């Protein structure tokens, strides 16, 4: 089975894809409406070594006017599992609808559930 995963950061990097999947994964440009980007400091040494940075982008709920630019990847079951392991506890995999209307997974801030109930107009 293949899984569509929206990427707005390091999952689009060739070196990260090579480390996680052992191959280059084609990406298709898309957007994620209703979300905004923030940054998180990564402390996991393996993730820092893979990505080359201790600062990663992270998705948070935004307003109806917010849109995050990115791309989606189509991953096999084992590649999705590798992505889950790479995305540290700061992230949670969540079902989203992309700007194109396609369903996908996206990795949101794990504490974003606290923000979901706020006014997003």
d(CA 38, CA 8): 11
pLDDT at position 93 is 95
Best CATH choice for the domain 2-111 from the list 3.10.490.10, 3.40.50.10490, 3.40.50.970, 1.10.1660.10: 3.10.490.10
First to last CA, the chain: 36
**DSSP state for residue 95 in the 8-state scheme:** E
Angle at 80 between CA 76 and CA 86, to 5 degrees: 145
Question: What is the reported pTM?
Answer: 0.84
Q: Domain spans of the chain?
A: 2-111
pLDDT range class, residue 60, cuts 50, 70, 90 = very high
Residue 45 clears pLDDT 80, i.e. is over it: yes
Q: What is the Cα gyration radius of the chain? A: 14
pLDDT at position 115 is 44
43 vs 12, higher pLDDT: 12
pLDDT at position 14 is 93
Stretch 10-26: mean pLDDT: 94
pLDDT at position 113 is 59
Range from 74-83, 90-99, 102-111, 112-121 carrying the lowest mean pLDDT: 112-121
d(CA 22, CA 37): 28
With a CB cutoff of 8 Å and minimum separation 6, the contacts of 89 are 110
């Amino acid at each position: 089975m293949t899984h569509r995963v929206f990427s707005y950061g390091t999952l689009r990097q060739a070196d990260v894809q090579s480390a996680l999947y052992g191959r280059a994964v084609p990406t298709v440009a898309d957007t994620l409406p209703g979300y905004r980007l923030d940054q998180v400091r990564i402390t996991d040494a393996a993730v820092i070594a893979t990505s080359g940075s201790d600062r990663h982008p992270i998705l948070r709920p935004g307003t109806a006017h917010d849109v995050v630019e990115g791309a989606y990847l189509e991953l096999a079951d084992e590649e999705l599992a590798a992505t889950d392991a790479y995305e540290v506890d700061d992230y949670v995999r969540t079902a989203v609808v992309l700007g194109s209307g396609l369903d996908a997974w996206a990795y949101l801030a794990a504490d974003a559930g606290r923000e979901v109930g706020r006014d997003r107009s």
